[in-house]
Amino acid sequence: QVQLVESGGGLVQAGGSLRLSCAASGSILSINYMGWYRQAPGKQRELVAAITSGGSTNYADSVKGRFTISRDNAKNTVYLQMNSLKPEDTAVYYCNAWIAVVAGTRGYWGQGTQVTVSS
């Protein structure tokens, strides 16, 4: 059984920073894609940033230059460093990963962590 556990959310003032972490555990053979999504109240879930096992990244236009995604393959962990936070960044942030196990490869989601940015 595979689990993704997120941490690092919280309340911060506009202009502040937070660092999210997501650790994958279980009978993992390999992890290719890892990403962060967010969902604000009344809005659809959207991609924030993603990173491949080789280190290629992509970002939503709204966070480019402010957020940085990184990963530690040895620890099966992905991070999201969020700087210059804005009230519109307020959302529940979810970790997503495509993970290979003995039974095959599929996507997994974390439980979500709340990020609230006050003005």
Q: Assign 111 a pLDDT band (cuts: 50, 70, 90).
A: very high
SS3 helix, strand, coil % of the chain, rounded to 5?
Answer: 10, 60, 35
pLDDT value of residue 115: 98
Partners of 31 in beta bridges: 99
Q: Assign 100 a pLDDT band (cuts: 50, 70, 90).
A: very high
Q: Assign 110 a pLDDT band (cuts: 50, 70, 90).
A: very high
Mean pLDDT of the chain: 97
* Tens digits of residue pLDDT in 6-62: 999 999 999 999 999 999 999 999 999 999 999 999 999 999 999 999 999 999 999
The amino acid at 17: S
pLDDT value of residue 13: 98
- Maximum Cα–Cα distance for the chain, whole Å? 47
pLDDT value of residue 16: 98
Closest listed residue to residue 82, CA positions, set 63, 58, 101: 63
